[in-house]
Structure 1
Amino acid sequence: MGIYSEAHICHCLSLLSTLRRNSVVTIAGNRRKTGKEFVDGVTGLAQGLLQLGLQSGDVVSIAAFNSELYLEWLLAIAYVGCIAAPLNYRWSCEEAVMAMKVVRPVMLVFDDSCASWYSKLQWIDIPSLRWHVLLDSPAEFVSTSYDNVLTIETIRKQSGRDASLDYCWAPEGAVIICFTSGTSGRPKGVAISHSAFIVQSLAKIAVVGYGEEDVYLHTAPLCHIGGLSSALAMLMVGACHVFIPKFDAKSALEAIEQHNVTSLITVPAMMADLVSKFRGKDTSTCIENVKKILNGGGGLSIELTKAATKLFPKAKLLSAYGMTETCSSLTFMTLYDPKMNHRISHPVDQTRGICVGKPAPHVELKICADGTSYVGRILTRGSHVMLRYWNGSAANAAAAADGVWLDTGDIGSIDDYGNVWLIGRANGRIKSGGENIYPEEVERTLLLHPGVTGVVAVGIPDARLTEMVVACVQIRENWQWMDTSTKDSVAEHMLRISSEILSRYCKEKNLTGFKIPRKFILWKKPFPVTTTGKIRRDRVRGEAMSHLQYLISHL
């Protein structure tokens, strides 16, 4: 068994094979599987992997859409003591290859989601890769790439159904390497343990209230930490899983209604799409079977929160703050509870930042600040913290050992009631005139303006101030940006917005003077983001600098 036998994510299989033996636990298109069928699928794969020759500690990469087969693979890989390294199906070939060269997988499991880049692998040397496995039905693009592609059926036929098969552990108790792009765009592999996933799942079960009666819709991809941790929580309680290959509002709403979905997770963009799509369908009805929604990946605006509660009036709506390096959620906050007088919480305070709630039961947090301030870097420690960055140096590794704290990279505070308040990212800090400015505070203020739909604040080098604050602003369709060339030509019916108007608005909202942007740039395209949806501030900064230099050169 080894020293890691106290925690293994496959412990959930016992519940599925007994209490849920004859109940449907997965729905994917026309495929439905009972608890017994799902567990047999996992153990059959596990036996086949052992027969192929996989050994404890081997890494297996998966590049695929969501399905029950994906979930079976994750558990089978863990069962035999290997480590799963999911790849983002949205990646380019270069990003996928970069990630595989970091984790050195012996096997790649794939489906049609990676058709755009899979065939290119035959021209790229990945020395560790010995097996290619097609996750689902045969794909046309495979024949042009490799002749030795295995299928699930081939692997399961090798299974000897050895009754003595038991769980195994990889070194360090690692089970999944989950990639995070941070804000640089370069994938980093985060090694996470069985223990981390289990304590995270137990926290979600306790705080959100998941149970056996839940029907959970997989909206988040299983290559992301939110999708992975929530999937395991649902496996632990024996809930029913509903899969759509990837999120789109139409498919999600159809699945919610068809299968009486009770639970799902979202990020703000998903919720906005659901609200928008449902409004277009029928404005007179709502969805009453959904009871629990957990939002992550950024806070919901008060407007979107209100719209969500109208769409899902019987759902408890919570938000979570966390990161891949902490195996998902660190804190939870209830935004709306239909059982609590229908009150909607508004967690934004212009002076303190965004309230993200209280730490989960298993999470220890502290603020590392100097003696003159209660604001500082948010640190955490415990079994939820990653083991390390895969193949990372000691300098960038973070251990979950006693006494070792992980710096989240976020700046914030903890109030007298135990609530955590976020101000911004440490690496996004702007140093202007000797003062520290966090762009998120500037952005929150500007987003309150009715004509602003999006904003990114960055620091641009300045000879006098070191850096000056520049705000790149997206405006609503029915608003007109005014500058020296448009002031006399704006149509009477247009709503007007300008640098002067926005600067004055910041003052009216009591934004401290040195934090008010010195320059405003009209941004007419989507902001550049990583594959996990994080703003690429480095690219915004570069384009903003080029724009300002162009203006100076043409004066």
Structure 2
Amino acid sequence: MANSQCHIAHFLTRLVQLKQGCPAIISGNRRRTGGEFVDGVLGLARGLLELGLLFRGEVVVIAALNSDWYLEWILAVTYVGGIIAPLNYRWSIEEARSALEVLKPVILVVDEFCSSWVVQLTNSSSIKSLRLHALIGCNTLSNVSKNANSLSMDSIRKPSQGTQFIDPIYAINGIALICFTSGTTGQPRGVAISHKALVIQSLAKITIVGYAEDDVYLHTAPLCHIGGISSCIAMIMAGGCHVFIPKFGAKLASAAFEQNHVTSLITVPAMLADLISFARKSNRWNGETVNKILNGGGSLSTELVKGAIDLFPNAKIISAYGMTEACSSLTFMLIFDPSSQKLRKSPSCSEILESNSLQLYVGVCVGKPPPHIELKICCDPTISSSPMVGSILTRGLHVMIGYWDQLTKTSNCDKSCWLNTGDIGWLDSHGNLWLVGRTKDRIKSGGENIYPEEVEAVLCQHIGVAGAVVVGIPDTRLTEKIVACVSIEEDWIWVNESARNSLEANLLSSEIMQNFCRHRKLTGFKIPKVYMPWRKPFPLTTTGKLRREDVKKEVMSYLQLLNSSL
């Protein structure tokens, strides 16, 4: 592989040069300069090579909470031509075993939190590729992981040689990482991502979000997800300081803001909601040092944006839309700019929409792609009657190499290297992407296509609605019937029509919601006829994405129980 190729380890020299005498890494009680951290990476890389533990193109699986040691493993493995595959620490042992059977790794790396995996996975007859397992961190291995094929991180690492760099090695096809999708439906899939994709995504974040060497970046997202990894690599390239907490918690994050003067972080809506709730109950809160927030994993409601501005008055808030297969963010949109003290308004629909057919598919504006990303809409009359609404496709150096278990087969890209995102949307005349919904979530009712995200956006405009999820359930006449699950605000009450008292305020009912949808000009066939009050949090993945299928199953059980009681 030519030396001109991109490699994420190329930027370690910048970390050494910029972070002399000041911390580049803060993780618990450990504070390390750039040189000290890079010495650790190089020592681990030399150990993997000299001990013959890892060869070019082999896979190393890691399951752990966030730490500086976790980042060392990511960089050291890829430095010597290995492929790192982070697993979600929240997975069941069955999910982890399934991933290992696909990946065929030679090394399993765990921390104390995931150390129980070792016995259960290394004793599996279906995983024959494992030669070694190692424990993240210092000191000795825990009792559950002591055996002849175990090594501590310190026993692998070779002593420092004064930050002497060796030429990074490339895995086959330039793959750096196998990152698993969130698995909102079905099993998570291992996505093979190249060094080049990680570098170009990082450059986009540096340019658009504005990461710089004076940033203090709090790792709120887990390093097993593409959002956390790509922002981490961007911060290494920028030369900023990394602050690690094991996993996100509002109390831990608040302490980090105060102790380390954090300037940047990434969030999903659920994280922001937790931070807002914690801040309102806490007597101590200091978010004034934060000057940039990148939100992913779903759009922010007006209430969340206002709450975030109150918490972080000096922060530029940017929202991103993306996916693992595209190495994180495909588009960016500025939500709030503190320099103007004004919310950034989405483009006006009345200014953009010209045809009646498009007005049925307004969707949610998710901003514009950075320069390296190409988007196009592939229209299909089975998806939409509009000539401008269709499948969102993308191509460029950011696109995955393919799914790990299908690299020798056709990936999710067509012959022109276009990746079908699985989302439905349209591009306006200003280059903004409007997201209408997911192909797999589309509801077919009475011969019409309905995208639940559009209906949910209307329902959530009601002041008494805290959240809404719309699903389609089987129906003999319509094919699918639209059901809306509605979570209501604290001071509001859901009532049956027969129990409704017109003199009472703050009431919600099926009739009220139907009339509200009509008032908001939602097309008749899209208005839910059935409403189900939802009295608990909606099920989410670890990245904050909705598990719509779980909601659908619960709705069907609820309606079956309701019908049987009648």
TM-score normalised by the shorter chain: which range applies? Answer: over 0.9
Relative to structure 1, is the Cα distance of residues 17 and 341 closer, same or farther in structure 2, using a 3 angstrom cutoff? closer
Aligned to 2:203: 202
Q: Distance in 1 between matches of 2:409 and 2:248?
A: 37
Shift of 1:552: 2.5
Q: Distance in 1 between matches of 2:551 and 2:466?
A: 16
Given candidates 388, 401, 409, the residue that maps to 1:387 is: 401
Question: Kindly, what percent of the aligned residue pairs are identical?
Answer: 56
Check the 8 A contact 2:182/2:541 in 1, yes or no.
yes
Shift of 1:120: 2.5
1:13 equivalent to 2:26? Answer: no
Matches within 5 A, 1:282-297: 282=283, 287-297=287-297
Aligned to 2:486: 473
Aligned to 2:463: 450
Aligned to 2:422: 409
Relative to structure 1, is the Cα distance of residues 513 and 104 closer, same or farther in structure 2, using a 3 angstrom cutoff? same
Check the 8 A contact 1:461/1:468 in 2, yes or no.
yes
Check the 8 A contact 2:269/2:544 in 1, yes or no.
no
1:538 equivalent to 2:549? Answer: yes
Q: Distance in 2 between matches of 1:51 and 1:94?
A: 34
Given candidates 431, 440, 447, the residue that maps to 2:453 is: 440
Relative to structure 1, is the Cα distance of residues 321 and 457 closer, same or farther in structure 2, using a 3 angstrom cutoff? same
Farther off after superposition, 412-421 or 496-505: 496-505
Matches within 5 A, 1:156-167: 156-157=157-158, 165-167=166-168
1:224-283 deviation line (CA, Å, top 9, x unaligned): 101100000110011111111111011111111111111111111111111111122248
Aligned to 2:69: 69
Matches within 5 A, 1:83-482: 83-115=83-115, 117-125=117-125, 126-137=127-138, 142-143=143-144, 146=147, 148-157=149-158, 165-282=166-283, 287-345=287-345, 352-370=362-380, 372-392=386-406, 397-398=411-412, 403-482=416-495
| Aligned residue identity for 1:507 | R
Aligned to 1:487: 499
Shift of 1:517: 0.8
| Aligned residue identity for 2:29 | N
Q: Distance in 2 between matches of 1:36 and 1:378?
A: 44
Given candidates 551, 554, 563, the residue that maps to 1:552 is: 563
Relative to structure 1, is the Cα distance of residues 185 and 136 closer, same or farther in structure 2, using a 3 angstrom cutoff? farther
1:504 equivalent to 2:518? Answer: no
Shift of 1:205: 0.5
Shift of 1:340: 2.5
Check the 8 A contact 1:182/1:534 in 2, yes or no.
no
Aligned to 1:39: 38
Q: Distance in 2 between matches of 1:188 and 1:403?
A: 23
Q: Distance in 1 between matches of 2:412 and 2:538?
A: 31
1:279-298 deviation line (CA, Å, top 9, x unaligned): 22248x75221111111111
Shift of 1:3: 4.1
Q: Distance in 2 between matches of 1:118 and 1:476?
A: 45
Q: Distance in 2 between matches of 1:477 and 1:411?
A: 34
Q: Distance in 1 between matches of 2:397 and 2:449?
A: 33
Shift of 1:139: 7.4
| Aligned residue identity for 2:336 | Y
Relative to structure 1, is the Cα distance of residues 324 and 411 closer, same or farther in structure 2, using a 3 angstrom cutoff? same
Shift of 1:554: 2.8
SS in structure 1 at match of 2:231: helix
Q: Distance in 2 between matches of 1:300 and 1:345?
A: 13
SS in structure 1 at match of 2:144: helix
Farther off after superposition, 174-183 or 221-230: 174-183
Q: Where does the alignment leave 5 or more consecutive residues of structure 2 unmatched?
A: 350-358
Shift of 1:496: 2.1
| Aligned residue identity for 2:89 | Y
Farther off after superposition, 203-212 or 443-452: 443-452
Shift of 1:65: 1.1
| Aligned residue identity for 1:384 | H
| Aligned residue identity for 2:38 | V
SS in structure 1 at match of 2:221: coil
Shift of 1:481: 2.2
Q: Distance in 1 between matches of 2:460 and 2:116?
A: 37
Q: Distance in 1 between matches of 2:326 and 2:336?
A: 25
Shift of 1:393: 6.5
1:60-106 deviation line (CA, Å, top 9, x unaligned): 01111111111111110111000000011111111111111111111
1:351-381 deviation line (CA, Å, top 9, x unaligned): 5111111101110001111485211111000
TM-score, normalised to structure 1, is: 0.93
| Aligned residue identity for 2:362 | R
| Aligned residue identity for 1:505 | F
Q: Distance in 2 between matches of 1:11 and 1:313?
A: 36
SS in structure 2 at match of 1:454: strand
Q: Distance in 2 between matches of 1:260 and 1:543?
A: 44
Aligned to 1:26: 25
Q: Distance in 2 between matches of 1:446 and 1:18?
A: 53
Shift of 1:150: 0.8
Shift of 1:306: 1.2
Q: Distance in 2 between matches of 1:527 and 1:164?
A: 49
Aligned to 1:517: 528
Check the 8 A contact 2:268/2:544 in 1, yes or no.
no
TM-score, normalised to structure 2, is: 0.91
Q: Where does the alignment leave 5 or more consecutive residues of structure 1 unmatched?
A: none
SS in structure 1 at match of 2:377: strand
Aligned to 2:353: none
Relative to structure 1, is the Cα distance of residues 348 and 519 closer, same or farther in structure 2, using a 3 angstrom cutoff? farther
1:161-194 deviation line (CA, Å, top 9, x unaligned): 9968321000000000000134214121000000
| Aligned residue identity for 2:211 | Y
